[in-house]
């Protein structure tokens, strides 16, 4: 069964999405076995950075970042 990435990982906590996304970027960047990655690694890394920043912002209990964080995931 094929699922889109958003459906496959949508139920994960944000920290797990960041961890997995970071691992993907790390393992695929400069990997000579993957000459044409199926995702834009620079874009993925930027999205991970945004999600990480929103997670940090929500640590103070701010509800303002929660909708943005859900949208980013």
* 56-68 pLDDT tens trace: 887 776 666 556 5
In sequence order, which ranges of 1-73 are alpha helices (DSSP H)?
5-9, 14-28, 41-58, 66-72
pLDDT digits (tens, 9 = 90+) for 33-42: 998 988 899 9
Q: Is residue 3 part of a domain?
A: no
Q: Is residue 1 part of a domain?
A: no
Range of the domain at 26: 12-72
Counting the structural domains of the chain, the total is 1
Q: Is residue 7 part of a domain?
A: no
For the record, the structure tokens of 35 come out as: 């000459």
Q: How many CB atoms lie within 10 A of CB 19?
A: 13
pLDDT digits (tens, 9 = 90+) for 4-29: 445 556 678 888 989 999 999 999 99
Q: Is residue 6 part of a domain?
A: no
């Amino acid at each position: 069964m094929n699922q889109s990435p958003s459906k496959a990982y949508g139920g994960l906590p944000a920290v797990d999405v960041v961890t997995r996304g970071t691992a993907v970027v790390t393992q695929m960047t400069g990997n000579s076995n993957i000459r044409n990655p199926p995702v834009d690694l620079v874009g993925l890394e930027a999205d991970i950075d945004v999600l990480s920043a929103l997670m940090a912002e929500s640590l103070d209990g701010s509800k303002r970042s929660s909708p943005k964080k859900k949208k980013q995931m």
